[in-house]
Structure 1
Amino acid sequence: MGERFSRYSRSIIQERALPDIRDGLKPVQRRILYAMNKDGNTFDKAFRKSAKSVGNVMGNFHPHGDSSIYEALVRMSQDWKVREPLIQMHGNNGSMDGDPPAAMRYTEARLSKISSEMLRDIDKDTVDWVLNFDDTEYEPTVLPSRFPNLLVNGSTGISAGYATDIPPHNLGEVIDAILYLQKHPDATLDDLMQFVKGPDFPTGAIVQGIDGIKKAYETGHGKIMVRSRTSIEPLKGNKSQIVITEIPYEVNKAQLVKRMDEIRLNKKIEGIAEVRDQSDRNGLSIVVELKRDVDSTGILNYLFKNTDLQVSYNFNMVAIDHMRPERLSLKRILTSYLEFQQQVIEKRTTFNLKKAQERQHIVLGLIKALSILDKVIKTIRASKNRKDARDNLVKEYDFSEKQADAIVALQLYRLTNTDVTQLENESKQLSEQIAEFEKILNNPTELNRVLSKELRQLAKTYRNPRRTEIQSQVSNIKINTDVLIPDEDVVVMVSHDGYIKRSSIRSYKASTSESGLKDEDYPIFMEQLNARDHLFMFTSKGNLIYRPVYEIADVKWKDTGEHISQTIGLDNDEEIIGTFAFNSLKEPGNFLITTDEGHIKQTAFADLKPGRTYKKHAYMYEKLKNADSRVVSVDYLSDPEEAGQLLLISKNGLALRYTLPEVPVNGSRTTGVKSMDLRGDDKVINLQLVNEDSIVAIVTQRGAFKKLAVKEIPVTSRARKGVMILRELKSNSHRVIDFETIADEHSPLEILTDRKRVHDILPSEFSIGGRYSNGSFVVDVETEGVPTKIRQKPSEISIN
């Protein structure tokens, strides 16, 4: 299997996917050009059906599918893919939008004029030939390639273990570099880069990163940024539009326009009114029309960063050199091409010399024959046949066989005096040609002179201006958040069951009576915020969910919104216990976190900053010791020094009061320190921030409500047992379900039950009880259910 894979790999590396360093062609491309040239399908003749060319290539040279041959033929004709198209096509040959070409039975093709330079002198033994796949005829192993096609048209391909990405270059620049290298074989990369500035893509655009270009030309590997050519044009009414006239190489225009329009539709940024593709026969034009008074440069930067308006291009200059795949530097490519062209001229000159010498031999024989014409005629007439005549001429007058053949084949009208003069002139010209050819072959300087003359002529004929602009530095794209996020006020709601939404002020005012929640669900957070604010949601299992307000689902107020578990997986019994909104992610305060198993800590805001994966993952803010442990309270302390005192009450009715400095600041992935000395199955129910004058409202599992002055509970220290605030009964003792600090005696409180019932209480109607009272029964457990929570009754949002 290893041996067969090795053969397969060698096959696709050498005979399929990688170009040759000399002519820059893959085998299929070489075979297409050679077959079309052999068939006379050249630029100076009429177009022919593509199917005929594909059939010739497939039948004679390339034993693979017709689709791969046709795709290669089409690509060589696409002027947005190759810098100098080698094929001319009539008909639909695809588009920059990724549209497929018409079927080969509909299109017509012929070689382009510059292709003739690829094949020039191929009939003069300039390249090696091998038998085709069925040994019926010969095909060239490489084309003479009289211009440096590997760099001019570039190449892209993937084989086994190797890939190549060579960008197109400017023909004139590359030839100038070769001419310089010819005179200065020790030229440095900097010397060559005076001529070859960098890639010259057929689609133009702007290349940034001279360091990346230099590294690529030095090692064969490098990265550059390719940026669209754009301009910002003012419109009437304080509006503007971004006009894109050139896009990066090999970017699909239709996909680019679609992506930009999706950004508009999904409101990833505010300010785009319309995206239009106005390209026509006069050239490419994409228009992004902007709304009134927006930051057009900021929007353009966002599009550069988030679409293919700017892409990175990675050089990977790999080609076949002496049957081996090699990663190549610029100088190596130019040197190899120069050596190859010197060989081509040497072989061509040898061929021409041989032809001239053979012809001169014949001409000298004819001149000699004409000088003794009567004798020659007499000898021929005395011969039996043509062969006998040839042999007699050789024998009697010392002609060679080839000269004798030419004399015998001479037509009578050639025996005039003028023909002798012509032969003598031809002999003189041939002598001059032979001397010239021998001079070229014997003198490398003369050979290089011929080569440079031909290269200069070629550059003069085909040179055209550079299309791609080279900029030395890669621009650092900074996107102002003002562009990304609209500066607008919204109403944000988080529900007990985990639904989250934002709505416009207008939508909220239009349907305040309908919250969109299910009957048993209720809001736990509802505020007017700015779209640029940040929301932190803390769950009962120690997970923190972060959302920028502008990323929260924007829906009508009467809609439910999105459930948080749609993007972040939460446990079934996990609920949000605290929600906080902030103007920035650089707040100075701490979070105070308390668990039911008796741990407490402060964690700095800076330690809970969201990372890159906040959309998919929650972050740990509290490490719980046991699977059934829960966080019972999270408070934000903007200034911990002024936070006052903490009050903790346990399920069994023990209360402990101490000051905040006793709670150390710990990291996010820690458990914290002991908050209260719990005995047996006792648990911390809640924590409230209090002072000496505070009054708390306590509710028990039997439906009792009690007001208690905080000063009844002495200030001690952390990790103590605490004092009793309920009277222990012999049976069915009261157990604390929840407690809340009473902010205002005249503001109602809500007691929620496990049957989704809500019982309103006005604190002012109840007197303050002592430590050993169990309060008054307010909730009928039999009919309303067991209390689960007490909280301030939510008030309507005051819209600014």
Structure 2
Amino acid sequence: MGDRFGRYSKSIIQERALPDIRDGLKPVQRRILFAMNKDGNTFDKGFRKSAKSVGNVMGNFHPHGDSSIYEALVRLSQDWKIREPLVEMHGNNGSMDGDPAAAMRYTEARLSKISNLMLQDIDKDTVPMTLNFDDTEKEPIVLPARMPNLFVNGATGISAGYATEIPPHNLGELIDALIYLLGHPQATTADLMEFVPGPDFPTGGIVQGIEGIQKAYETGRGRIVVRAKTAIEELRGGRQQIVVTEIPYEVNKAQLVKRINDLRLAKKVEGIADARDETDRSGLRIAIELKKNADATGILNYLLMNTDLQINYNFNMVAIDDHRPVRVGLKHYLGAYLAFQQSVITKRTEYKQKKAQERLHIVEGLIKALSILDQVIKTIRASKNKADAQANLVREYGFTDTQAGAIVALQLYRLTNTDVTALNDEADRLQKSLAEYHLILNDAKELNKVLRQELRAVKKEFATPRQTQIEAHVEKLTVDTKVTVADEDVIVLVSAAGYIKRTSLRSFNASPLDENGLKEDDYPLLIQQTNTLAHLFVFTSHGHLIYRPVHELFDAKWKETGEHLSQTIGLQDDEKIVSAMLFESLDQAGTVILASSDGQIKQTAFKEIVPGSRYKSHASQIMKLHSDAERLINAIYCDPTYANQSIVTISRTGYALRFAVDEVPVQSTRTAGVRAINLKENDTLANIALVSDESRLAIITQRGAYKAMAVSELEVGTRARRGNLILHRLKNAHLVVDFLAYPADFTGSLEIITNRPVIQDVQVTDHHLGAPKSNGSFVIDDESQGQPVRIQFKQVVAQGEQSLV
């Protein structure tokens, strides 16, 4: 089985899928060109039915299905796939939209003018011939290929263990490089790239990445970016449209337009009103009409990133060289092509030399015969027949058999003096030609001179201007979120249990505030009106940060529960949400202040916590915790534009310490911070707050007592001290479970949440400021309502007014 598969692999590598380095053709293509040329189906004759050409190829040279032959014939005629089409076709030969060609009984074909270069001199023994599949005819192993077809028209194919992807190039540029290499055999790839800067696709477009081209030309493998040629046009009414006039190579235009419209209908990108294919006889044109005030550049960048308006093209330049598949670079190919053309010219010259020598031999015999014409005629008349006459001439006058045969076959009207003159002139011309042939065959410089002249003649007649623009660097595309997300006001909810959702204002306003879809043992930590372009940051008790763009949050009705964070990011069983923040932009100048239960604190620059590409499935570490028992207790954003800010820390046993924000160093996300407060044994940090001199503190204890006090009662000192006791010691001691800071002019309500949970509202204006060591007043019955665990601002959004209270 291995032996048979090996033979099969060898067959499809050498005789089906990969092109020959010399003529750049696969066997089926070579057979099509040879058969059409043999039948006289050339550019200077009329068109013939494609079915006739396919039948001739299949019957004489290619014993495979007619569909594969016709598909190859059609591809050779498609000017959006082939840089220099080798076949001209009348009728439907397909389109850039992926439409198939009409059946071969409807179309007509003939060889193009440039394909004459591929077959030129094939009748002069320039290439080896072999018997066809049934040994009835001979076919060429390779065509003379007087143009560098492998790189001009490129190739694509897949065989066993090998594949090839060679892009099309510009004929004139390749010929310039060939001529240069002919005179400078030691030229480097960089030298040759002065002439061949990169591929030249028939569909034009823009190629980016000179490094990828250079690597491909050196090694045969490389990667470039190919993007469409676009322009932004102004329309009436202040609107714009993106116009595409060239698309990347081998991109299906119809599917491209459909993809753009799919993105528009799915609202993956905002601002596109319509996308139309306006291609006509004058050329390719796709119009992408934009809505008023749309960001044309941003939308174009999004389309380049998410559609085939920009593609990656991978060079894999494999060809058959000396019966073996070889990955070739630019110099390797040009060198191999020059060697082949030198061989073609040498064999053609040898053929012409042989023919000239044969003719000169006959001419010399005719001249000699005319000089003794009477004797020759007498001898012929005395002979019995043609063979006898030929033998008598050889015997009596010393002619060779070839000369004697020519004399016997000579027509009487040629026995004139003028004919002798013509023969003498012909002999002189033949002598000169033989001298030229001898020079070419024996002097490499003369051979190269002929090759150079012929290459220049090909360039003069067939070279065309470059169609693909080349840019040195790959442009990095960035897309503003505003381009892909509809600008819409929404309500965002984050619950203590880890449920998050966004809700439209319409759904929110149509439902009671407390019918938020949360379970009985859950409660909201954040309810805030924001925009779909905003960003949500969620901090957990295990020192993790979870990021979500608001537009990616689960879109649910207000009465629905929403999505739990564990559906995308694994939360541990005892991991809780401690803080949630919304930001309009990721470009914030401030810091995030973080504190842990063991009394550690630090600042981290906001730009350090901006998420990476894996934010959807991975939480990032925001603070390192010293042990499994420690917890992150709060995260607060510190705006540097606010002056005279300080930090208050209060321990569970009631020790409070106030110090300046500058006392806390700015550290990275993976550090544990510095000591905020000097805790006694078995004491923990209850919470921290960012305050000003006018702020007030709302403190809640485990026994249900609420205490309000002025921040000014606490002097600003240095961190890492014990602090001042702010509770009166009792036998049944009060312990601080939580506190927050609020402005002096705040007149709203606070929520105290118990472990059951029960939510108890507290109106701050109903409570006077307490003395530094008072315990406040009871607002919660811990036996009937449970022990308090959290105090927060009342989550109220004014329904119908669309604003945060």
| TM-score bin, normalised by smaller chain | 0.7 to 0.9
Q: Does the residue aligned with 1:123 lie in a helix, a strand or coil?
A: helix
Judging changes above 3 Å, is the alpha-carbon distance between structure 1 residues 112 and 558 closer, same or farther for their aligned structure 2 residues?
farther
Task: Give the distance between the partners of 1:759 and 1:532, measured in 2 at CA.
Answer: 34
Q: CA deviation at 1:242?
A: 1.7
Unaligned runs of 5+ in 2: none
1:776 aligned partner:
778
Q: Which residue in 1 is equivalent to 2:427?
A: 431
Task: Describe the superposition over 1:509-557 as per-residue Cα deviations: whole angstroms up to 9, x where unpaired.
Answer: 6768597644646542233445554432212222212334455567776
8 A contact 2:482–2:533 mirrored in 1: no
- Range moving further from structure 2, 449-458 or 6-15: 6-15
Query: 1:649 touches 1:687 (CA, 8 Å); kept in 2?
Result: no
Relative to 1, partners in 2 of residues 1:594 and 1:459: Cα closer, same or farther, differing over 3 Å? closer
Could you tell me which residue of structure 1 aligns to residue 543 of structure 2? 542
* Alpha-carbon distance, 1:591 to partner: 2.3
Distance 1:40 1:18, change over 3 A: same
Q: Distance in 2 between matches of 1:761 and 1:266?
A: 46
1:58 and 1:545, CA in 2 relative to 1: closer, same or farther beyond 3 A?
farther
Name the CA distance, whole Å, in 1 between partners of 2:761 and 2:281.
74
Match of 1:235 in 2: 235
CA separation of 1:742 and 1:304: change in aligned 2, threshold 3 A: closer
State which of 618, 642, 645 in structure 1 corresponds to 2:644: 642
Cα deviation digits, residues 638-665 of structure 1 (max 9, x gap): 2498333423343xx5544353566554
What's the Cα RMSD here? 4.7
Question: Which residue is 1:581 aligned to?
Answer: 582
For structure 1, list consecutive stretches of 5 or more residues without a partner in the other structure.
Answer: none
Helix, strand or coil: the match of 2:792? Answer: strand
Alpha carbons 2:127, 2:142 under 8 Å: kept: yes
Q: Distance in 2 between matches of 1:770 and 1:297?
A: 60
**Aligned residue number for residue 376 of structure 1:** 380
CA distance in 2, matches of 1:586, 1:728: 49
Offset at 1:144?
A: 0.4
Q: Distance in 2 between matches of 1:299 and 1:5?
A: 51
Hey, what's the Cα distance between the residues in 1 that align with 2:666 and 2:772?
35
CA contact (8 A) 2:655 2:722 kept: no
Residue 96 of structure 1 corresponds to which residue in structure 2?
Answer: 96
Q: Which residue of 1 aligns with 2:492?
A: 493
Whole-Å separation in 2 of the counterparts to 1:528 and 1:493 = 6
Q: Aligned partners of 2:490 and 2:29: how far apart in 1?
A: 63
Task: Indicate if the aligned counterparts of 1:698 and 1:740 stay in contact, CA closer than 8 A.
Answer: no
Give the counterpart letter for 1:236 in structure 2.
Answer: R
Seen in structure 2, the aligned counterparts of structure 1 residues 287 and 393 have a Cα distance that, compared at 3 Å, is same
**Match of residue 758 from structure 1:** 759
> Does the C-alpha gap of structure 1 residues 416 and 387 become closer, same or farther in structure 2, counting only changes over 3 Å?
closer
Structure 2 residue matching 1:648: 3-state secondary structure: strand
TM-score by length of 2: 0.80
Which range is displaced more, 127-136 or 22-31? 127-136
Partners of 1:194 and 1:156 lie apart in 2 by 26
Q: Is the 8 A contact 1:439 1:446 kept in 2?
A: no
TM normalised by structure 1 equals 0.81
Question: CA shift at 1:448, angstroms?
Answer: 5.3
Measured at CA, do residues 125 and 626 of structure 1 come closer, stay the same or move farther in structure 2, by a change above 3 Å? same
Q: Write out per-residue CA displacement over residues 224-251 of structure 1, whole angstroms, 9 at most, x where no aligned residue.
A: 5544332322211111212111122233
Query: In the alignment, is the contact (CA less than 8 A) between 1:491 and 1:526 conserved in 2?
Result: no
Sequence identity (%) = 51
**Could you give the per-residue CA deviations for residues 729-755 of structure 1, whole angstroms, max 9, x where no partner exists?**
78xx98765444566785333333455
2: distance between equivalents of 1:125 and 1:48? 30
- What is the distance in 1 between the residues matched to 2:552 and 2:100? 38
Query: Aligned equivalents of 2:688 and 2:197: distance in 1?
Result: 70
Residues 398-456 of structure 1, C-alpha deviations (whole Å, 9 max, x = no match): 55444566677x5xxx6533467797577456535532441332223665565555445
Q: Does structure 2 conserve the Cα–Cα contact (< 8 Å) formed by 1:656 and 1:716?
A: no
CA distance in 2, matches of 1:634, 1:752: 19
Residues 1:202 and 2:198 aligned together: no
What is the DSSP-based 3-state SS (H/G/I as helix, E as strand, rest coil) of the residue aligned with 1:587? coil
Partner residue in 2 for 1:148: 148
Question: Partners of 1:761 and 1:514 in 2: how far apart?
Answer: 17
Change (3 A) 1:276 1:361: same
Structure-2 residue corresponding to 1:417: 413
CA distance in 2, matches of 1:689, 1:617: 29
3-state SS of paired residue (1:199)? coil
Q: How does 1:27-426 map to 2 (within 5 A)?
A: 27-38=27-38, 40-43=40-43, 44-49=45-50, 71-90=71-90, 92-101=92-101, 109-131=109-131, 138-157=138-157, 164-176=164-176, 178=178, 196=196, 198-207=198-207, 225-265=225-265, 267=267, 269-311=269-311, 313=313, 319-323=319-323, 330=330, 333-359=333-359, 361=361, 368=369, 372-381=376-385, 394-395=394-395, 398-402=398-402, 410=409, 415-418=411-414
Q: How far does residue 32 in structure 1 lie from its aligned partner after superposition?
A: 3.5
Q: Work out whether residues 128 and 141 of structure 1, in 8 Å CA contact, stay in contact via their aligned partners in 2.
A: yes
Assess if the C-alpha contact under 8 Å between 2:594 and 2:635 holds in 1.
yes
Per the TM alignment, residue 499 of structure 1 is displaced from its structure 2 partner at its CA by 4.5
Provide the rounded CA distance (Å) in 2 between the counterparts of 1:727 and 1:192.
89
Indicate the residue corresponding to 1:20 in structure 2.
20
Shift, 1:127, TM fit: 0.9
| Partner deviation per Cα, 1:604-646 (whole Å, 9 max, x = no partner) | 3343232333344321102234556532222223249833342
Question: For residues 423 and 557 of structure 1, do their structure 2 counterparts lie closer, same or farther at Cα, with a shift above 3 Å needed?
Answer: farther
Task: Quote how far apart the aligned CAs of 1:795 are.
Answer: 2.6
User: Which residue number corresponds to residue 436 of structure 2?
Assistant: 440
Aligned to 2:202, the other structure's residue is in SS state coil
Match of 1:696 in 2: 698
Partner residue, 2:634 = 633
**In structure 2, distance between residues paired with 1:425 and 1:343:** 37
Report how far residue 284 of structure 1 moved: 0.9
Larger CA deviation: 712-721 vs 592-601:
712-721
CA shift, 1:697, in A, is 3.5
CA distance in 2, matches of 1:628, 1:47: 87
* Deviation sequence 1:476-528 (CA, Å, 0-9, x none): 56758486477957344132054445566677667685976446465422334
Paired with 1:737 and 1:131, the residues of 2 have a C-alpha distance of 97
Is contact 2:697–2:739 with CA below 8 Å preserved after alignment? no
CA distance in 2, matches of 1:500, 1:47: 70
